[in-house]
Amino acid sequence: MAQQVQERYEESQLYKIRHSAAHVMAQAVVEMFPEAKYTIGPPVDNGFYYDFDLPRNLTPEDLQAIEKRMRQIVQGKHDFVKKILSADEARQIFKDQPYKLELIEGLEKGGLDEYGNPLKEKPEISVYQHDTFTDLCRGPHVASTKEIKQDAFKLMNVAGAYWRGDEKNKQLQRVYGTAWENAQQLKDYLWQLEEAKKRDHRKLGKELEIFIFDDEIGPGLPLWLPNGGVMIEELENLAKEMEEKAGYLRVRTPNLTKEDLFLRSGHLPYYAESMYPPMELEGVKYYVKPMNCPMHHKIFGSKGRSYRDLPIRLAEYGTCYRYEKSGELFGLMRVRSMQMNDAHIYVSEEQFEQEFMGVVGLYRKYFDLFGIEKFVMRLSLHSKAGLGKKYVDNERLWIKTEEMVRRAMDNGGVPYVEAEDEAAFYGPKIDVQVWSAIGKEFSLMTNQVDFAVPERFDLKFTNREGNEEVPLCIHRAPLSTHERMIGFLIEHYGGNFPAWLSPEHARVIPITDGQNEYAQGLVQQLRDQGIRASADISAQRMNAKIRNAQLMKIPYMLVVGENEMNAGQVSLRVRDGSQQNNIPLEEFVVRAKDRIARRANEL
């Protein structure tokens, strides 16, 4: 969550409700297990959790009992009372709680937070008390437990968690809960969770035969099945069409290169942990590429450039490989092999704003196309403490380029939030968060400014005065990667893709074997018209064939019996439930081609 958004959340009533609910839950757990050792219980995006060191593993029945006790505590309408203490006073209160004593020591000596990270200022030591329970806490909380509505919270599950996130420490039990301002919000959230399970791209991706993973291939390396291949082609066609209109030039680059290229670009010093290890041949080290930009820089620098040539926009759907940690891999959303909707735009400073906002405009066209109604653009900035380590050591250019991005976004009237210490190593960027149709958040797109690497590659153009000048480079990926974008689209549409994106547009379903030949002839006519179609000539009954087509979420089903065959017609069943009986094939073709050509969301 971006820093400004997080700060607003921490000031909200919902944050206080969740923080207070975590304390109420801790009280209920300690009452059930008097020997319990309790640690920390913060609010998170959609609820709260608390970590416990308990004598046995919690069961689903335990969660029910804890939740029941929480309702009783809430009903007591207990005030939350804050007290400022000395370290010695706090140690006396928590003398039997080793995790709390460790936190007190960190606060007293080093000003460390609950995860052992340094705080900007040495904090006060405070506790909050309600009913019989006291916790080491800096707040904030609601005034009274009566502000936690009995019908607006629920305990969700138990998971393992290491103390302070360090696997060398003891594993604890983390109890997750969710809390909202009213019962309807809780109901809506629980519905969203259930709907998200149905739409999980890992589940639907397998059922709809879009992609698979295989242990012999390796984790994080997806295999695209024919249906997935069709979707990739459609996204590439979309990108090519949009980018050709915007003046992009398409290039192709190899999947591996010599070590020297990434030393020169700076990726090896800053990015080595995310790169696959090198291969050595004839005394030379080669890396599979984790990104396309160094090769695009080489293409830009392959000949002299004038200000008249700029902007130069180089685009490529190049395959890249990144060594994501095994525990961070997640379906198509976090993989090790990816095909990026990548491009690099080389501009002068005076062209920067127009080109940067041209990319933002492309985002918004894609939002309209895919029906994305909610999004947040986050300006990711450097941190001064990271200069020379995480970021290129040039404070002047950081400040300058960050202000250029702010000015462009402000002039364009595009709302954004800022997040410190989230930039690329070579410059600030806009990261785009989008929400799917059911309100699930995804990180999809990026628009980055590079003020450092072009100079490393001696990239230059001759300006109006006849002097050499280093261009700025804009890195952008409006359609993310094939992997992440298709993962998002599966969940956004729940597999019910618009016709243009559907792997199969139409399924022809003969009622009996007597119409099989007619059905196969229809398929060929449809394919001749650019409509992806197949015929189900299996021995199954018609209803089973329709059911199979519905399970595969095919937009159009063309049912043909003896009457349709004799009249040269079809009966159309649309995925949305509408029907048209006994229509000429040509009428369906006109309808389908219109929806496909317009990339319409309606069928």
Structure tokens at 452: 């450092």
* DSSP secondary structure, 385-450, as one string: GGBTTTB-S-HHHHHHHHHHHHHHHHHTT---EEETT-SBTTB-EEEEEEE-TTS-EEEEEEEEEE
Closest to 94 in 3D by CA, of 137, 58, 64, 48: 137
pLDDT averaged over every residue in the chain: 93
Structure tokens at 224: 């695209």
Cα–Cα dist 451/398, whole Å: 8
pLDDT band at 393 (very low <50, low <70, confident <90, very high): confident
CATH class of 499-598: alpha beta
- Domain boundaries defined on the chain: 3-191, 206-492, 499-598
Structure tokens at 211: 């992609």
Q: Stretch 374-394: mean pLDDT, rounded?
A: 89
Q: Give 580's DSSP letter.
A: E
**Residue 444: pLDDT over 50:** yes
Domain 3-191 has CATH 3.30.980.10: yes
- C-alpha 367: how far from chain center: 15
E strand map for 106-255: 125-130, 133-136, 153-162, 171-179, 211-212, 223-224, 249-250
Q: Give 124's DSSP letter.
A: P
**φ and ψ at residue 220, rounded to 5 degrees:** 75, 10
Burial class (CB in 10 A: 0-12, 13-18, 19+), 49: buried
Q: What is the pLDDT of residues 252-302, one digit of tens each?
A: 999 999 999 999 998 887 788 889 999 999 999 999 999 999 999 999 999
Cα–Cα dist 504/2, whole Å: 39
CA distances from 283 to 266, 267, 279, 280, 290 (A): 22, 21, 10, 6, 22
pLDDT of amino acid 117: 66
pLDDT of amino acid 2: 42
Decide: 50 and 37 in contact? Cβ < 8 Å. Answer: no
Cα–Cα dist 582/558, whole Å: 10
Closest to 508 in 3D by CA, of 556, 575, 568: 556
**Residue 114: pLDDT over 90:** no
pLDDT of amino acid 121: 66
pLDDT of amino acid 235: 97
pTM of the predicted model, to two decimals?
Answer: 0.86
Decide: 263 and 513 in contact? Cβ < 8 Å. Answer: no
Closest to 207 in 3D by CA, of 521, 490, 574: 490
Domain 206-492 has CATH 3.30.930.10: yes
Measured torsion, CA atoms of residues 194, 199, 204, 205, in degrees rounded to the nearest 10: -130
pLDDT of amino acid 43: 93
Q: What is the pLDDT of residues 425-443, one digit of tens each?
A: 888 999 999 999 999 999 9
Q: What is the pLDDT of residues 173-219, one digit of tens each?
A: 999 999 999 999 999 999 999 999 999 999 999 999 999 999 999 99
pLDDT of amino acid 425: 84
For Cα atoms 514, 520, 526, give the angle at the middle one, nearest 5 degrees. 140
Q: Stretch 372-385: mean pLDDT, rounded?
A: 92
CA distances from 350 to 53, 296, 354, 464, 578 (A): 59, 22, 8, 12, 54
Decide: 603 and 499 in contact? Cβ < 8 Å. Answer: yes
Sign of the CA dihedral running 8, 11, 13, 17:
positive
Q: Stretch 3-8: mean pLDDT, rounded?
A: 52
Decide: 160 and 174 in contact? Cβ < 8 Å. Answer: yes
Which residues lie below 8 Å from residue 431, measured CB to CB, with a gap of 6+? Answer: 377, 378, 380, 419, 422, 443, 445, 446
Cα–Cα dist 13/9, whole Å: 8
The reply to whether 3-191 and 206-492 are identical in fold is no
Q: What is the pLDDT of residues 357-374, one digit of tens each?
A: 999 999 999 999 999 999
**φ and ψ at residue 315, rounded to 5 degrees:** -120, 150
pLDDT of amino acid 3: 46
Burial class (CB in 10 A: 0-12, 13-18, 19+), 529: middle
